[in-house]
Chain A
Amino acid sequence: MKGAAAAAALPLLSNQLPFYESLAHAATESDLVIAKGGSPTQLLQAAMTPLGGMSRFVKKGQRVVIKANIAWARTPEQACTNNPELTMALIKMCYEAGAKRVAIWDHTCDNYQFTFSRSGLKEAGQKAGADVFSGHGRNVYKQVEIPKAKKLKTAEILRDVLESDVFINFPIPKQHFATELTLGMKNLIGIVWDMEQLHKIDLHQCIADINTLRKPDLVVMDAFRILTTNGPKGPGKTEDPGEVIVSTDIVAVDAYGAAFFKNPKTGKPFKPEEIKFVKHAYDLGLGEIDLSKVRMKKVSAT
């Protein structure tokens, strides 16, 4: 709690960016950029520029791992999996920044062969030059301790996510019946071997606990089209916010993403605190939940 409080207080004390250790980042204009209006490729380009460009995150010769959402055997139009065009743009951007290799991972819920082909993401990923991997074999996981966790003290995590140079979390926001919403942090459930077991422990706390393991170097939220009912598997109603949100602060991204959806109880957009795992993550000091304390920037892609 102390750490979180300090993190929250820091922006008041200095003009420098609080969330990044390196001084180089001070050159950037904002912490959270929302790009709207344009094609997925344009949106990503527009969003990354104020954040310092991809070269801020990916250096020459580095290995990049992207955790995408390819969990379900659904088509791109159904908005249950990432937008293929945006996925391609993200991979290409990493390679342009000098990445040696880009790998896309997901531990799928439906059979990986069907999710990879129906979502169009294997084809898109490979076209852009990335390796698209599925975590269906236990051998690609590594048992690790999670020291900062409150409940999930140990878990088997995708080895490549832990060992890569750069880790990009690439979620798609969706309605989710059990946890209200699927946002950026929930996306990391897909790096765990025993996904279903987390429901037995305490799903919300586990989501926050897993996020303490490795802070993503970059979060790219794919809100080009979102699923608003029957989540997370759908098919359900979709909306087209046409936005791409980028940040390094996953809690801030989730806090922003929550407002895409209406809380059925209040009829108003979700407040970040109403999503328990976002609250838990904030309590663990993973990022800023109060968007008024985050330097947000909205840009237009066209």
Chain B
Amino acid sequence: MNRAVPYLRRTVQALSFCFLLYLIIQTAFPLELKIPVDLYLRLDPFIGIISLFTQKEIILRMLPALGVLLLVFIFGNFFCGWFCPMGTTIDFFDRILFREKKRPKPLDDRSLRRFRYGVFIFALITGLMAFQVMYLLDPISLITRTMVISFYPPAIYIYNHLLPQIQALLPRNPVILSSIPLPLFKVNLLIFLFFIIILALGVIRKRFWCRYLCPLGTLFSISSRFRIFRRSVTDECTHCQKCVRECPVGAIPEETPEQYRQEDCVSCFKCLECPPKAVSFGFASPQLKTVDGVTLSRRYVLGSFAFGLASSLVIKTNPLQSESGLKNNRLIRPPGSLPEEKFVSVCTGCGECLKVCPNNALQSTFLEAGLAGLYTPRLVPRIGYCEEFCNFCGRVCPTEAIRPVTIEEKRLLQIGVAHIDKTRCIAWDTDKICLVCNEQCSYQAIVGDDKKRPIIKEEKCTGCGICENKCPVDGESAIIVHSSGVQKKLKPEPNNNHQG
């Protein structure tokens, strides 16, 4: 039975990863899946804690994460070794790409192991300072973002190229189906590189990221200190060092393999492959004591604390930050978003909304929203517009940075206002009849004057950007949506937004 455990674990890992992919694929029209498509993010207690700090209220959607934390508290850290999709990816690439070098002397990684506690303290402090950049290191948010932004467009690209061949296999349709419009994201290369660097760290040590950096792993480490599902070793141990070598997180010290650091153990059960069968797992009373643990000196904790505090303050006072938001009138947030300052602190940058947006209208920011707003969603109308009867982004946001709004509410939410550049507009500049914007406007906010030139009724404009998107003028549109600052509720008019 013990021999089957590694295979079982690998199968569970693969299934977990495939399930994440399935959920990401299902994060699309018509969004009718019974389970929430952002399930993994909702189960992530690190996101739960930090969003609790940044939003300063309990987010109901994140409550399942508490359950996970509780389970880890009792059974120890089972998440990293069995379910984490990022861990699965790292395990897979470590296995196929890297061989761990034999070292003459045991590597003393205590300072590295201490490092992630520093990162974690830093994260908590910046979280308390309402600054969300630490989400960049959260593994669930990271893998979702990477999949959506870096790997989803190439997948569609390949699909479109194989479409004729796929169609040829289907006898029913003599026509070729439309290819899927290629989703585009400006920051894809950056996110891809970050992902590759994390995988490449495996060359130094297996699961380098998980052992020394991952903040979610650190949180699980802290919680699984008192686990009651524990490893025990009988006297039959021959000090053969097999378990020491096999342990993917190096939780078993060489000198005393009968002990282990329960907080680092990811419950992979590789040590069960013990030649004298001395190792077993079972329920036992919790132990506070651990071997060869990291010592967090007061100086180290205070140092991380101060560094986090200073960094948040420096970033908050960076001109990029103060120029973002209200002062950048091209920074249009999705309908239902929290006010700008709160939005950047609550958004995890997971990319769920970018994936679900049917028109590829939501784009990931780079520095447009300041350093604190890295990888947050913004509406870029020239790439895509906000679909009238769609409220998907609010429905998939795990931290409710984009509040879930009903279709009726959304259709009365003003996220921006369109403005016409009369020197470039076809109808204003020439005597041709154009009025594409009037024709496309869902809210009848663009009317034509007696010479069939467009005029904007600001009180009806929601800033959806369909006019900017469809404007036939080459290059930049002749009608441009500017952010309205704070999202405003429009007055319903009988002829305007009546439902039917």
Report which A residues bind B (CB closer than 8 A): 63, 73, 75, 77-78, 101, 103, 109-111, 113-114, 117-118, 131, 133-140, 159-160, 176-179, 196-197, 199-200, 202-204, 230, 232-233, 235-236
- B-side contacts of A136, CB under 8 Å: 178, 180-181
Known: A101-B174, A196-B436, A200-B473. 12 other contacts (CB 8 A): A110-B388, A114-B387, A131-B173, A137-B181, A139-B179, A160-B175, A178-B439, A179-B433, A196-B472, A199-B432, A199-B472, A200-B432
**Of A77, A103, A113, A233, the contact of B440 (CB 8 Å cutoff):** A233
- B-side contacts of A103, CB under 8 Å: 175
- A139 and B433 alpha carbons, distance in the complex (Å): 29
State whether the Cβ of B350 lies closer than 8 Å to any Cβ in chain A.
no
The 24 sampled A-B contact pairs (Cβ below 8 Å) are A77-B500, A109-B440, A111-B358, A113-B29, A113-B358, A114-B29, A114-B388, A133-B177, A134-B178, A136-B180, A137-B180, A139-B176, A140-B177, A140-B178, A159-B176, A177-B435, A177-B438, A196-B471, A196-B472, A199-B436, A200-B426, A200-B473, A202-B432, A235-B495
Among A176, A199, A233, the most chain B Cβ lie within 10 Å of the Cβ of: A199
- A-side contacts of B389, CB under 8 Å: 73, 114, 118
Asked whether, in the complex, the Cβ of B179 is within 8 Å of the Cβ of A138, the reply is yes
- A-side contacts of B495, CB under 8 Å: 230, 235-236
Asked whether, in the complex, the Cβ of B160 is within 8 Å of the Cβ of A137, the reply is yes
State whether the Cβ of B136 lies closer than 8 Å to any Cβ in chain A.
no
- A136 and B359 alpha carbons, distance in the complex (Å): 11
- A-side contacts of B471, CB under 8 Å: 196
Tell me the chain B residues, 1-38 only, with Cβ under 8 Å from chain A.
29-30
Asked whether, in the complex, the Cβ of B29 is within 8 Å of the Cβ of A199, the reply is no
State whether the Cβ of B405 lies closer than 8 Å to any Cβ in chain A.
no
Closest A residue by C-beta to B471 = A196
Asked whether, in the complex, the Cβ of A232 is within 8 Å of the Cβ of B163, the reply is no
Closest B residue by C-beta to A63 = B174
Tell me the chain B residues, 446-474 only, with Cβ under 8 Å from chain A.
448, 452, 470-473
State whether the Cβ of B77 lies closer than 8 Å to any Cβ in chain A.
no
Closest B residue by C-beta to A118 = B389
Chain B 50-86 interface mask (CB, 8 Å, partner A; 1/0) = 0000000000000000000000000000000000000
Asked whether, in the complex, the Cβ of A235 is within 8 Å of the Cβ of B500, the reply is yes
A230 nearest CB across to chain B (Å): 6
- Report the tally of A-B residue pairs with Cβ distances under 8 A: 109
State whether the Cβ of B312 lies closer than 8 Å to any Cβ in chain A.
no
Closest A residue by C-beta to B387 = A111
**Majority secondary structure, A binding face:** mixed
- A-side contacts of B426, CB under 8 Å: 199-200
Closest B residue by C-beta to A276 = B433
Asked whether, in the complex, the Cβ of B388 is within 8 Å of the Cβ of A197, the reply is no
Closest A residue by C-beta to B472 = A196
**Of A118, A178, A236, the contact of B452 (CB 8 Å cutoff):** A178
Closest B residue by C-beta to A113 = B29
Tell me the chain B residues, 397-442 only, with Cβ under 8 Å from chain A.
426, 432-436, 438-442
Asked whether, in the complex, the Cβ of B177 is within 8 Å of the Cβ of A200, the reply is no
**Of B179, B439, B470, the contact of A176 (CB 8 Å cutoff):** B439
Among A109, A111, A159, A202, the most chain B Cβ lie within 10 Å of the Cβ of: A111
Asked whether, in the complex, the Cβ of B439 is within 8 Å of the Cβ of A139, the reply is no
- A-side contacts of B441, CB under 8 Å: 233
- A268 and B452 alpha carbons, distance in the complex (Å): 20
B87 nearest CB across to chain A (Å): 35
A142 nearest CB across to chain B (Å): 11
Given contact pairs A111-B359, A230-B444, A196 touches B470 in the complex (Cβ within 8 A):
yes
- A197 and B441 alpha carbons, distance in the complex (Å): 17
- A-side contacts of B289, CB under 8 Å: none
Chain B 170-199 interface mask (CB, 8 Å, partner A; 1/0) = 000111111111000000000000000000
- A3 and B322 alpha carbons, distance in the complex (Å): 69
- B-side contacts of A131, CB under 8 Å: 173, 175
Closest B residue by C-beta to A198 = B472
State whether the Cβ of B390 lies closer than 8 Å to any Cβ in chain A.
yes
- B-side contacts of A230, CB under 8 Å: 444, 495
**Of B178, B390, B440, B500, the contact of A139 (CB 8 Å cutoff):** B178
- A92 and B439 alpha carbons, distance in the complex (Å): 32
State whether the Cβ of B298 lies closer than 8 Å to any Cβ in chain A.
no
A166 nearest CB across to chain B (Å): 14
Among A109, A196, A230, the most chain B Cβ lie within 10 Å of the Cβ of: A196
- A156 and B143 alpha carbons, distance in the complex (Å): 40
Closest B residue by C-beta to A236 = B495
- B-side contacts of A114, CB under 8 Å: 29, 358, 387-390
**Of B173, B179, B442, the contact of A137 (CB 8 Å cutoff):** B179
- A-side contacts of B101, CB under 8 Å: none
- A176 and B359 alpha carbons, distance in the complex (Å): 25
Asked whether, in the complex, the Cβ of B452 is within 8 Å of the Cβ of A177, the reply is yes
A17 nearest CB across to chain B (Å): 33
- A113 and B394 alpha carbons, distance in the complex (Å): 19
State whether the Cβ of B498 lies closer than 8 Å to any Cβ in chain A.
yes
- A197 and B436 alpha carbons, distance in the complex (Å): 9
A266 nearest CB across to chain B (Å): 15
- A-side contacts of B387, CB under 8 Å: 73, 110-111, 114
**Of A111, A159, A176, A197, the contact of B175 (CB 8 Å cutoff):** A159
A274 nearest CB across to chain B (Å): 14
Asked whether, in the complex, the Cβ of A235 is within 8 Å of the Cβ of B498, the reply is yes
Given contact pairs A75-B500, A139-B163, A113 touches B175 in the complex (Cβ within 8 A):
no
Closest A residue by C-beta to B435 = A178
B359 nearest CB across to chain A (Å): 6
A55 nearest CB across to chain B (Å): 23
CB-based closest 7 A-B pairs: A137-B178, A137-B179, A178-B435, A196-B472, A113-B29, A199-B434, A139-B179
B392 nearest CB across to chain A (Å): 11
- B-side contacts of A232, CB under 8 Å: 439
Chain B 463-490 interface mask (CB, 8 Å, partner A; 1/0) = 0000000111100000000000000000
